[in-house]
C-alpha cells in the first residue's frame, strides 16, 4: 500500500504513540506513523476515514487526537520539548486544510451506502446477516456493490452545493479568554461561508495573505474591523475592510437599480398617481438626508441595510449560478398602457402570469385534473422503512391499480353476453366446482399446507439464512477464475472460514428449531 | 354558471360559487335598485371583485337606461390590473355562453404618462382607474367631469378613502415652493410681454371671455353635464372674474403680492395655527387682498396658461399649487386649518418653515361624487366599524353590510399575545415601549415563531422609528442572530426600491424553502399594497397597536374637528384608525379559502373589547376568549396545533358548505343560511 510515489507533505519527528517514540508523516491521502528505527507504518489512516481531530489545549502533554468514523481514536503525543507546540500546530493546520477535501468524499460514500441500504430492504437484511454478525467485513460487503452502483447514480449525484446557514456569523460568538481579549473560533466551513457570502473579503484575503499578513492577522483584523461590526459606521480609518463596506454598498445599490422582476412586489409602480409635490396632508416626509440624522439613527439604518444585504447574499450564494438569467422582458416595463385592448401586446408575460395567478380561484373551478388518492398513514414507520419483503417484488403503483380497476370497470360495463355460446347450467356449475379450492383443477393445496404449517417467523429466519448463504456463494463464485494471489487467498483463507461460520449459524438455528419442537 | 339574483340573470364565470358571493350580489342589487349608496365589507379572497363586476355588468345589460356606466376605482396599479383581468374573464364567459359578440367597451386608465382625455371615456361602459381620477379635483376636472349621472361608482379597497380625500385637498407650502412660484410668475410676465407684441388680440379675446364670466361652465353644471369641482365653487361660476385680476398683467401683479405675503408669513419663530377666516382677515389687513379675487385664482391661472398656450403645465406646478391654495382658502371657511411651523419637530435648530393648509373634512373632496352619481359603493375587506364611514364621509347609505367568510376549515387563527413567559405585559404603549423586558419579549416571540412557522413570516411594527430601535436592540441582544438560524431576515426601508428588492428576495427565500422573515411597518407601502398569499405569509405578527403619531398638530386639529362636527370622540377615532391598519396588516396573509395563516396580535390591549370590537367581523368571530392574553409559550402551543392541522391535505369537503353548485344554491335551506351571512348594520 505504501507506494513510493506517495507525496509526503510533512514529517514530524519525535512523536509518541502508545508510549513509543516515532515519526509522524502527513501524506497526500493519509496520515501515518512509524516507530523509530523501523521503516514501516504501524498506524495509517486515510484522511477520508477521519471524522474529526481534536487538539486539546492547556494540557501538560501536547497531543493531537484523531477520531475515526468507526469511533476509534488515535493519540499522538508531541514530545520534542522545544518545538512540540509548533510541531503540533503545523500538523494541525495542515490537517485542517486537508480534511475538508476528503470529508466530502467520505460523506458522499457514507451517504451512498446509507441510501442503498435504506432503499433496498433485501440488501439491508443481508447486511445485517453478514456484516453485523461479522461473517464478512463491511469493506468486502461493499467492495463489489458500490462500484456497480456508482455508475448508475453518478448522474443523480451531481454534486449538490450546500447552502450557507444564515446565522454563520452567529456561530463565531466570541469567547472571552479571561484576560482582556476575545477569542473567535473559526472553522474552514465558516471561512468558506464568509468567502461565499462576501466576495469582497475573499478578494482582500487573496490580496493580503500571505504576502502582507498572516492568516491569523487577517482574521484578527477582520473581527476588529468596523466592517464586521455592522452597527458602526465606517469612519475611513486605516482599515483594509473599509473598502469592502463600500463594495457591498455598491453591490446593494446595483441590486436595487436592477429592479424587481415580479411587478406585483414593485413598490415603485404600485401607486398610479402620487400626489403632486406640495399636496397631501403629510407629504412633508422627514428629510432623509443624513445631515440631520443622529449618529444612532444612522447606525440603526446601517444595521437594517446590512441585514438586507446579508440575507440577499446568503440567498444568492445558495442559489449558485442559475440565478443570473435576467428576464429582459420583465424588467422592461412595469406600467400599464392606457388602453386595455392593446395591453395584450404590451404586457410582459411575467406580469400577465402573475396577475392571472393572483385572480385565480382554483376552488371555484370544476376539477378537471386527475383525482389523487390521499395517503392515509396509520403506521408511518412502516411507510418509511417498508415491510421487509423477502424477495424483491415488482410493485404496482397506486396509479397502476387505479388504472386497472378502471379498465376492469369499463370492460364490465361494456360486457355483452354472447348468447349464442352460452353453456348449459350444469356444465357451468361443474366448471366452477373444479376451479374452487379443493376442486379438480385446484390440487396445489399441499404446498399451501406447508406454508400454513410453518410459523411465519420461522419461515422468515430460514429465508434470511438462505439469502445470506446465497450471498456467500456469490462471493465464492466471483473468485473464479482464480487469477490473482489475492483471490486465491480469499478462496482458501477466509471464504472457507465464512462458509464454516455460515454453516455453524445454520446448524445452531436448526438445533434451536428442533429443541423448540420437542 | 348563470344565477338568478332576485329576478336578474347574472353570468358568473365559474362553476361554483361561495355563499358570501351570492349574498354580496344580493345586497348589491338591492342597493342599485334603490339608486342609493352602499357600504359593504367582505373579506379579501372571497371573490369580491368578480361578484361586483358580474352583477353590475348584468344589471347594465338588463337595464341599460337605469345604469349606463360602471366606474371602478381601485387604489394601486396591480389592483387595477387585476380588475381588468377579471373583467376580461367575465367578458370571455359572456361571449362563450351567450354566443354573442359583446359590445361592451371597457377602459382602464393609469399612469400619468398615459393620462389623456380619451374621447371614448364618455362612451365606455366600464371605466377602471385609480381613486385620484375621481377624488382629486385637479385630475377629476380633466378626466371625469363629463361622466354620466347614471353611473355606478365603486371604490374598492376603500378602507383609507378618507385619507385619500384629505390628501387631495391639502396643500403644503415651503420656501422652495415660493421660490419656484416666483420664477413661474416671472416667466409668465415675460411671456405676456412677448405675446403682447406679437399677438395682442389673443389677450384681448381672453379679457372678453372673462368679462362674460364662466357662463359656459355654469350652464354645463346646471344642466348636469359636468360633475362639480370643489376647487371651482358655485359662486365663481355665477360671477364674472373681478376687475382687479382680469387683465393678464394685473393678475400677475396680484400673484406677486400674494407670494410676498406668504413669504412674510413664513418668516416666523413659533408655530402659528389659524382658521381660514383668520387668514383672510389678516391678508386683507396687511396687503389689502380681498376674498373675492383670491377665489378666482385657480380658474384665472388656468385661463391664462391656456391663453399663453403653455404646453408643459408641469413646469408651472408651483404657481398652480399656490393658486389652488388661494381658491381653497377663500372658499371654505370650515373644514380646513392653517398651521405654520418654523421647523421640524425633530430638528428644532434647522429653519425649514412650512405652511400646512390641511383639510380636515374628507367629505369635501368626495361630496361631488356622492351628489352626482346615483350609486356609490364603498367596499373593502376591512371597513369595521361600518357606521363610521358614512359619518366621516357625510353620506347616507341605503345598505350597510358586513359579510363573513364561510369556511370548511378554520383557516385563520387570530391570537392575542399579552405577556411574555416572564409574565411581563407586552405592549407598544408609549410609556413602556422602550422597556427592555418588552423588547426582549417581542424578540422572543419572533424567535419562537421563526422556529415553528414554515416558510414566510411577516411582522409589522407601529412605526418606522420604532422598528429601527427594536431591530437595533435585538441585534445587540443577539436575538436576530438566533432568528437567522431559522430564517433569513429582510427589513423594509424608507427607500421603495430597496424595499422592493428585499421583498423579492423574501419571496425567493420562501419559494426555495429556506424560509424568511419580513420586518415591515404598518401604514407603510408593504402593509397597504402587497399580498402575502399562501407560503409567502404563514404568520403575521403585529407588534403593538399601530396608533398614528398623535403629537402632530395636523392630527390634533383633525381630531378636534371630528369631535366638534361629527361627535366622534378622539379616542374612538384613533382606535378605529389603529385597528383598521392592524386589520389590514394581518389580513395580508389570508387571501382565500385555500390559504391559511396565523394572525398574531402582540399587544395586551388587543384583548380589550373596545379594540377587539373594531376588528372586521370575519376576524373577530374566530377570536375566542381562549385566545386572548396568551403568553408566548401558549401562543407557540396553539400555533403548532393550528399549523399541524392546516398542513393536512385540504380535503375537498368545501362543497355544500363554503362552496356551492347551482343546485345547492337554489335549495331553500341554503338560501336561509345565506341570508345570515350578511350582517346588516
> Does any domain span residue A18?
yes
Q: Please report the pLDDT score of residue A372 as a whole number.
A: 61
The predicted-structure confidence for B156-211, as pLDDT tens digits, reads as follows 999 999 999 998 899 999 999 999 999 999 999 988 888 888 878 888 888 887 77
> Does any domain span residue A443?
no
Whether residue B510 is predicted with pLDDT greater than 80 in this model: the reply is yes
Whether residue B115 is predicted with pLDDT greater than 60 in this model: the reply is no
Contacts of A292 in chain B (CB under 8 A): 346-347, 350
Cell of B319: 404657481
A213 and A143 part of one domain = no
CA distance B384 to B404: 12
> Does any domain span residue A444?
no
The predicted-structure confidence for A449-464, as pLDDT tens digits, reads as follows 566 677 778 888 888 8
Residue of A302, A363, A372, A375 to mutate for B, most B C-beta atoms under 10 A: A363
Domain ends where: A258, A281, A316?
A258
Contacts of B171 in chain A (CB under 8 A): 278-279
CA distance B374 to B152: 7
Residue of A161, A346, A361, A377 to mutate for B, most B C-beta atoms under 10 A: A361
B667 near A CB under 8 A: no
Cite the beta strand spans of B271-324 per DSSP E: 272-274
Apex CA B125: angle with CA B119 and CA B130, to 5°? 75
Task: Give Cβ neighbours of residue B545 (< 8 Å, ≥ 6 apart).
Answer: B427, B428, B462, B578, B579, B582, B603, B605, B606, B611
What share of chain B in percent tops pLDDT 90?
Answer: 52
A145 and A80 part of one domain = no
| Closest chain B residue to the Cα of A258, Cα to Cα | B501
Give me the residues of A, 272-301, that contact B with CB < 8 A. 272-273, 275-284, 286-288, 292, 296-297, 299-301
Smallest CA-to-CA distance from A363 within B666, B97, B651, B22 is with B651
A356 near B CB under 8 A: yes
Give how far A116 is from chain B: nearest CA, Å.
Answer: 26
| Closest chain A residue to the Cα of B357, Cα to Cα | A281
Q: Please report the pLDDT score of residue A148 as a whole number.
A: 52
Residue of A168, A254, A279, A324 to mutate for B, most B C-beta atoms under 10 A: A279
* For range B552-571, the mean pLDDT: 91
A102 and A181 part of one domain = no
> Does any domain span residue A360?
no
Count of CB atoms situated within 10 Å of the CB of B228: 20
Size of interface A-B (CB pairs under 8 A): 268
> Does any domain span residue A410?
no
Give me the residues of A, 159-178, that contact B with CB < 8 A. 163, 165-167, 169-170, 173
A184 and A218 part of one domain = yes
CB burial of residue B246 (10 Å; 0-12, 13-18, 19+): middle
Q: CB–CB of A278 and B651 under 8 A? A: no
Q: CB–CB of A273 and B111 under 8 A? A: yes
Q: What is the dihedral of CA A504, A505, A509, A511, to 10 degrees?
A: 10
Residue of B74, B131, B475 to mutate for A, most A C-beta atoms under 10 A: B475
Bridge-based pairing state of the strands B171-174 and B351-359: antiparallel
- What's the distance, CA A427 to chain centroid? 65
B101 or B360, which is more confident? B360
Residue of B85, B106, B406, B485 to mutate for A, most A C-beta atoms under 10 A: B85
Using CB atoms, which residue from B350, B493, B500 is nearest to A265? Answer: B500
DSSP 3-state of A267: helix
Q: What Cα–Cα distance (Å) separates residue B266 from each residue in A284, B175, B275, B345?
A: 16, 8, 16, 16
B328 near A CB under 8 A: no
Q: CB–CB of A267 and B525 under 8 A? A: yes
Smallest CA-to-CA distance from B428 within B614, B553, B605, B619 is with B605
Number of domains comprising chain A: 3
A32 or B214, which is more confident? A32
* For range B442-459, the mean pLDDT: 95
- Helix or strand run (H / E) with residue B413: strand B412-417
Average pLDDT of every residue of chain B: 88
Q: What Cα–Cα distance (Å) separates residue B621 from each residue in A271, B543, B613, B618, B669?
A: 33, 21, 10, 6, 23
Whether residue B34 is predicted with pLDDT greater than 90 in this model: the reply is yes
Q: CB–CB of B114 and A337 under 8 A? A: yes
Q: Please report the pLDDT score of residue B224 as a whole number.
A: 65
B552 near A CB under 8 A: yes
Q: Please report the pLDDT score of residue A123 as a whole number.
A: 80
Give how far A465 is from chain B: nearest CA, Å.
Answer: 43
Count of CB atoms situated within 10 Å of the CB of A51: 15
Q: What percentage of chain B's residues is helix, strand, coil (to nearest 5)? A: 55, 15, 30
Give how far A275 is from chain B: nearest CA, Å.
Answer: 7
A14 and A88 part of one domain = yes
Smallest CA-to-CA distance from A365 within B671, B47, B99 is with B47
Q: Please report the pLDDT score of residue A321 as a whole number.
A: 47
B457 near A CB under 8 A: no
* Helices and strands counted in chain A (H then E): 18, 9
Q: Please report the pLDDT score of residue A288 as a whole number.
A: 41
Half-sphere exposure of A368 (CA within 13 A, CB side): 3
> Does any domain span residue A45?
yes
The predicted-structure confidence for B418-449, as pLDDT tens digits, reads as follows 999 999 999 988 888 888 999 999 999 999 99
B205 near A CB under 8 A: no
Whether residue B513 is predicted with pLDDT greater than 70 in this model: the reply is yes
A135 and A73 part of one domain = no
CA distance B382 to B386: 9
DSSP B398: E
Contacts of B493 in chain A (CB under 8 A): 301, 304-305, 308
Using CB atoms, which residue from B111, B491, B552 is nearest to A336? Answer: B111
B218 near A CB under 8 A: no
A133 and A194 part of one domain = no
A129 and A57 part of one domain = no
Contacts of B352 in chain A (CB under 8 A): 287
Q: Please report the pLDDT score of residue B319 as a whole number.
A: 92
B471 near A CB under 8 A: yes
Q: Please report the pLDDT score of residue A371 as a whole number.
A: 58
A184 and A242 part of one domain = yes
SS (H, E, C) B502-557: HHHHHHHHHHCCCCEEEEEECCCHHHHHCCCCHHHCCEEEEECCCCCCCCCHHHHH
Give me the residues of B, 80-119, that contact A with CB < 8 A. 80-82, 84-86, 88-89, 106-116, 118
| Closest chain A residue to the Cα of B353, Cα to Cα | A284
Bridge-based pairing state of the strands B106-108 and A30-35: unpaired
A59 and A130 part of one domain = no
Give how far A184 is from chain B: nearest CA, Å.
Answer: 16
ipTM computed for the complex: 0.86
pTM: 0.73
Domain ends where: A215, A242, A258?
A258
Whether residue B366 is predicted with pLDDT greater than 90 in this model: the reply is yes
Q: Please report the pLDDT score of residue B443 as a whole number.
A: 95
Whether residue B520 is predicted with pLDDT greater than 50 in this model: the reply is yes
CB B611 within 8 A of CB B545: yes
A181 and A90 part of one domain = no
Q: CB–CB of B109 and A363 under 8 A? A: no
CA distance B39 to B28: 10
B496 near A CB under 8 A: yes
Whether residue B526 is predicted with pLDDT greater than 60 in this model: the reply is yes
Cite the beta strand spans of B146-197 per DSSP E: 151-155, 171-174
> Does any domain span residue A402?
no
Give how far A358 is from chain B: nearest CA, Å.
Answer: 8
B470 near A CB under 8 A: no
| Closest chain B residue to the Cα of A355, Cα to Cα | B82
Domain ends where: A226, A258, A290?
A258
The Cα diameter of chain B in Å comes to 84
Spell out, as residue ranges, where chain A has pLDDT lower than 70: 1-5, 56-58, 103-107, 144-161, 171, 173-174, 176-180, 226-239, 272-276, 281-294, 320-348, 367-395, 418-420, 443-452, 517-518
Q: CB–CB of B497 and A292 under 8 A? A: no
Range of the domain at A130: 121-153+456-517
Q: Please report the pLDDT score of residue B50 as a whole number.
A: 94
Count of CB atoms situated within 10 Å of the CB of A152: 9
Using CB atoms, which residue from A166, A283, A292 is nearest to B488? Answer: A166
The predicted-structure confidence for B607-646, as pLDDT tens digits, reads as follows 999 999 999 999 999 999 889 999 999 999 999 999 988 8
Q: Please report the pLDDT score of residue A333 as a whole number.
A: 37
Give how far B606 is from chain A: nearest CA, Å.
Answer: 28
Q: Please report the pLDDT score of residue A367 as a whole number.
A: 63
Give how far A62 is from chain B: nearest CA, Å.
Answer: 35
Q: Please report the pLDDT score of residue A386 as a whole number.
A: 53
A98 and A15 part of one domain = yes
Whether residue B304 is predicted with pLDDT greater than 80 in this model: the reply is yes
Q: Please report the pLDDT score of residue B499 as a whole number.
A: 92
Cell of A406: 378502471
Q: Please report the pLDDT score of residue A388 as a whole number.
A: 53
Banded model confidence at residue B282, pLDDT cuts 50, 70, 90: very high
| Closest chain A residue to the Cα of B129, Cα to Cα | A272
Using CB atoms, which residue from A261, A280, A308 is nearest to B502? Answer: A308
Contacts of B482 in chain A (CB under 8 A): 167, 170
Instruction: Classify each residue of A470-493 as buried b or exposed e, where b means 16 or more C-beta atoms within 10 Å of its C-beta.
Output: ebbeebeeebeeeeeeeeeebeee
Q: Which CATH number do you get for residue A14? A: 2.30.29.30
Contacts of A173 in chain B (CB under 8 A): 478
DSSP 3-state of A448: helix
Q: Please report the pLDDT score of residue A190 as a whole number.
A: 81
Task: Give Cβ neighbours of residue A325 (< 8 Å, ≥ 6 apart).
Answer: none
Q: CB–CB of A338 and B496 under 8 A? A: no
Give how far B281 is from chain A: nearest CA, Å.
Answer: 24
Whether residue B122 is predicted with pLDDT greater than 90 in this model: the reply is no
Q: Please report the pLDDT score of residue B507 as a whole number.
A: 93
> Does any domain span residue A468?
yes
The conformational region for residue B335 under phi > 0 = left, psi -120 to 50 = alpha, else beta, is left
* For range B573-600, the mean pLDDT: 92
CB burial of residue B556 (10 Å; 0-12, 13-18, 19+): middle
CA distance A31 to A99: 11
Cell 429466519 sits on residue: A461
Work out the end-to-end distance of chain A between its first and last CA atoms, rounded to an integer number of angstroms: 55
Residue of A257, A280, A326 to mutate for B, most B C-beta atoms under 10 A: A280
Q: CB–CB of B16 and A363 under 8 A? A: yes
Amino acid at each position: 500500500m505504501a507506494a513510493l510515489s506517495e507525496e509526503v507533505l510533512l514529517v514530524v519527528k519525535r512523536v509518541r504513540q502508545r508510549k513509543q517514540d516515532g515519526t509522524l508523516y502527513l501524506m497526500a491521502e493519509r496520515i501515518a506513523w512509524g516507530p523509530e528505527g523501523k521503516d514501516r507504518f504501524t498506524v495509517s489512516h486515510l484522511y477520508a476515514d477521519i471524522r474529526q481531530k481534536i487538539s486539546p489545549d492547556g494540557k501538560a502533554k501536547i497531543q493531537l487526537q484523531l477520531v475515526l468514523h468507526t469511533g476509534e481514536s488515535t493519540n499522538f503525543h508531541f514530545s520534542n520539548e522545544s518545538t512540540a507546540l509548533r510541531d503540533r500546530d503545523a500538523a494541525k493546520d495542515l490537517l485542517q486544510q486537508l480534511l475538508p477535501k476528503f470529508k466530502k468524499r467520505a460523506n458522499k460514500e457514507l451517504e451512498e451506502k446509507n441510501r442503498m441500504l435504506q432503499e433496498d430492504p433485501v440488501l439491508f437484511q443481508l447486511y445485517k446477516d453478514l456484516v453485523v454478525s461479522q461473517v464478512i467485513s463491511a469493506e468486502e460487503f461493499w467492495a463489489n456493490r458500490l462500484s456497480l452502483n456508482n455508475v448508475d447514480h453518478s448522474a443523480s449525484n451531481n454534486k449538490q452545493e450546500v447552502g450557507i446557514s444564515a446565522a454563520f456569523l452567529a456561530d463565531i460568538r466570541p469567547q472571552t479568554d479571561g484576560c482582556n481579549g476575545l477569542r473567535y473560533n473559526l472553522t474552514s466551513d465558516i471561512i468558506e461561508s464568509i468567502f461565499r457570502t462576501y466576495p469582497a473579503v475573499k478578494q482582500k484575503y487573496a490580496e493580503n495573505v500571505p504576502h502582507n499578513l498572516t492568516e491569523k492577522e487577517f482574521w484578527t483584523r477582520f473581527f476588529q474591523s468596523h466592517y464586521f461590526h455592522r452597527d458602526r459606521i465606517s469612519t475611513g480609518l486605516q482599515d483594509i475592510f473599509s473598502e469592502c463596506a463600500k463594495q457591498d454598498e455598491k453591490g446593494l445599490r446595483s441590486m436595487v437599480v436592477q429592479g424587481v422582476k415580479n411587478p406585483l412586489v414593485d413598490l415603485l409602480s404600485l401607486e398610479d398617481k402620487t400626489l403632486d409635490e406640495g399636496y397631501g396632508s403629510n407629504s412633508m416626509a422627514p428629510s432623509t438626508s443624513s445631515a440631520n440624522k443622529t449618529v444612532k439613527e444612522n447606525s440603526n439604518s446601517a444595521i437594517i441595510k446590512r441585514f438586507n444585504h446579508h440575507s440577499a447574499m446568503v440567498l444568492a450564494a445558495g442559489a449558485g449560478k442559475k440565478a443570473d438569467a435576467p428576464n429582459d422582458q420583465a424588467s422592461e416595463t412595469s406600467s400599464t398602457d392606457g388602453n386595455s385592448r392593446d395591453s395584450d401586446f404590451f404586457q410582459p408575460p411575467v406580469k400577465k402570469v402573475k396577475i392571472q395567478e393572483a385572480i385565480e380561484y382554483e376552488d371555484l373551478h370544476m376539477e378537471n385534473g386527475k383525482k389523487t388518492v390521499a395517503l392515509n398513514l396509520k403506521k408511518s414507520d412502516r411507510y418509511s422503512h417498508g415491510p421487509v419483503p423477502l424477495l424483491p417484488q415488482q410493485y404496482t403503483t397506486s396509479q397502476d391499480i387505479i388504472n386497472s380497476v378502471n379498465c376492469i370497470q369499463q370492460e364490465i360495463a361494456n360486457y355483452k353476453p354472447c348468447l349464442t355460446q352460452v353453456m348449459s347450467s350444469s356444465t357451468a356449475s361443474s366448471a366452477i366446482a373444479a376451479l374452487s379450492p379443493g376442486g379438480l383443477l385446484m390440487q396445489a393445496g399441499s404446498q399451501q399446507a406447508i406454508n400454513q404449517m410453518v410459523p411465519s417467523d420461522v419461515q422468515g429466519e430460514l429465508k434470511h439464512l438462505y439469502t445470506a448463504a446465497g450471498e456467500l456463494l456469490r462471493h465464492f463464485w466471483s473468485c473464479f477464475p482464480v487469477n490473482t494471489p489475492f483471490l486465491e487467498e480469499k478462496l482458501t483463507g477466509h471464504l472457507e472460514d465464512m462458509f464454516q461460520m455460515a454453516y455453524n449459524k445454520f446448524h445452531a438455528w436448526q438445533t434451536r428449531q428442533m429443541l423448540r419442537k420437542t | 354558471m348563470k344565477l338568478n339574483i332576485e329576478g336578474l340573470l347574472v353570468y358568473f364565470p365559474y362553476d361554483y360559487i361561495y355563499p358570501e358571493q351570492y349574498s354580496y350580489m344580493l345586497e348589491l342589487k338591492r342597493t342599485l335598485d334603490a339608486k342609493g349608496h352602499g357600504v359593504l365589507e367582505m373579506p379579501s379572497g372571497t371573490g369580491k371583485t368578480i361578484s361586483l363586476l358580474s352583477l353590475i355588468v348584468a344589471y347594465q345589460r338588463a337595464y341599460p337606461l337605469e345604469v349606463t356606466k360602471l366606474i371602478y376605482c381601485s387604489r394601486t396599479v396591480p389592483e387595477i390590473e387585476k380588475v381588468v383581468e377579471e373583467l376580461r374573464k367575465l367578458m370571455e364567459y359572456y361571449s362563450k355562453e351567450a354566443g354573442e359578440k359583446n359590445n361592451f367597451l371597457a377602459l382602464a386608465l393609469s399612469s400619468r404618462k398615459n393620462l389623456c382625455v380619451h374621447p371614448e371615456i364618455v362612451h365606455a361602459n366600464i371605466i377602471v382607474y385609480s381613486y385620484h381620477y375621481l377624488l382629486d379635483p385637479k385630475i377629476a376636472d380633466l378626466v371625469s367631469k363629463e361622466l354620466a349621472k347614471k353611473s355606478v361608482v365603486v371604490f374598492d379597497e376603500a378602507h383609507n378613502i378618507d385619507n385619500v380625500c384629505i390628501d387631495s385637498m391639502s396643500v403644503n407650502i415651503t420656501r422652495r415652493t415660493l421660490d419656484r412660484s416666483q420664477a413661474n410668475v416671472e416667466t409668465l410676465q415675460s411671456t405676456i410681454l412677448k405675446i403682447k407684441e406679437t399677438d395682442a388680440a389673443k389677450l384681448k379675446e381672453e379679457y372678453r371671455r372673462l368679462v362674460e364670466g364662466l357662463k359656459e361652465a355654469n350652464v354645463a353644471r346646471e344642466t348636469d353635464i359636468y360633475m362639480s369641482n370643489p376647487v371651482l365653487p358655485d359662486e365663481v361660476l355665477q360671477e364674472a372674474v373681478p376687475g382687479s385680476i382680469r387683465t393678464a398683467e394685473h393678475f400677475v401683479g396680484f400673484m406677486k403680492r400674494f407670494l410676498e405675503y406668504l413669504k412674510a408669513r413664513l418668516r416666523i419663530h413659533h408655530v402659528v395655527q389659524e382658521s381660514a377666516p383668520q387668514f383672510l382677515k389678516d391678508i386683507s389687513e396687511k396687503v389689502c387682498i380681498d376674498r373675492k379675487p383670491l377665489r378666482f385664482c385657480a380658474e384665472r391661472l388656468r385661463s391664462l396658461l391656456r391663453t399663453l398656450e403653455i404646453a408643459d403645465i408641469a413646469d408651472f406646478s408651483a404657481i398652480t399649487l399656490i393658486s389652488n391654495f388661494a381658491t381653497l382658502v377663500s372658499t371654505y371657511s370650515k373644514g380646513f386649518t392653517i398651521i405654520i411651523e418654523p421647523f421640524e419637530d425633530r430638528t428644532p435648530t434647522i429653519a425649514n418653515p412650512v405652511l400646512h393648509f390641511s383639510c380636515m373634512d374628507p367629505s369635501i373632496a368626495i361630496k361631488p361624487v356622492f351628489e352626482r352619481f346615483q350609486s356609490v359603493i364603498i367596499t373593502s375587506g376591512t371597513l369595521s366599524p361600518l357606521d363610521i364611514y358614512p359619518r366621516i364621509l357625510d353620506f347616507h347609505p341605503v345598505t350597510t353590510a358586513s359579510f363573513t367568510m364561510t369556511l370548511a376549515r378554520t383557516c385563520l387563527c387570530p391570537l392575542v399575545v399579552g405577556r411574555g413567559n416572564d409574565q411581563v405585559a407586552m405592549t407598544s404603549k408609549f410609556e413602556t415601549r422602550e422597556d427592555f423586558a418588552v423588547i426582549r419579549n417581542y424578540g422572543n416571540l419572533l424567535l419562537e415563531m421563526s422556529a415553528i412557522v414554515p416558510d414566510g413570516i411577516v411582522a409589522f411594527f407601529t412605526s418606522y422609528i420604532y422598528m429601527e430601535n427594536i431591530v437595533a436592540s435585538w441585534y445587540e441582544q443577539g436575538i436576530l442572530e438566533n432568528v437567522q438560524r431559522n430564517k433569513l431576515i429582510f427589513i423594509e426601508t424608507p427607500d421603495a426600491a430597496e424595499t422592493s428588492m428585499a421583498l423579492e428576495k423574501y419571496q425567493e427565500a420562501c419559494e426555495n424553502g429556506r424560509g424568511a422573515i419580513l420586518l415591515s411597518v404598518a401604514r407603510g407601502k408593504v402593509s397597504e399594497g402587497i399580498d402575502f398569499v399562501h407560503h409567502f405569509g404563514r404568520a403575521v405578527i403585529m407588534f403593538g397597536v399601530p396608533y398614528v403619531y398623535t403629537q402632530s398638530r395636523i392630527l390634533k386639529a383633525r381630531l378636534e374637528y371630528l369631535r366638534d362636527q361629527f361627535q366622534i370622540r378622539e379616542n374612538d377615532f384613533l382606535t378605529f384608525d389603529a385597528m383598521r391598519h392592524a386589520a389590514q396588516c394581518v389580513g395580508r396573509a389570508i387571501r382565500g379559502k385555500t390559504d391559511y395563516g396565523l394572525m398574531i396580535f402582540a399587544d395586551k390591549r388587543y384583548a380589550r373589547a373596545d379594540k377587539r370590537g373594531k376588528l372586521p367581523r370575519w376576524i373577530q368571530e374566530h377570536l375566542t376568549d381562549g385566545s386572548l392574553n396568551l403568553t408566548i409559550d401558549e401562543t407557540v402551543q396553539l400555533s403548532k396545533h393550528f399549523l399541524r392541522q392546516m398542513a393536512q391535505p385540504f380535503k375537498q369537503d368545501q362543497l355544500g358548505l363554503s362552496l356551492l353548485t347551482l343546485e345547492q344554491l337554489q335549495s331553500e335551506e341554503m338560501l336561509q343560511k345565506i341570508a345570515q351571512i350578511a350582517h346588516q348594520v
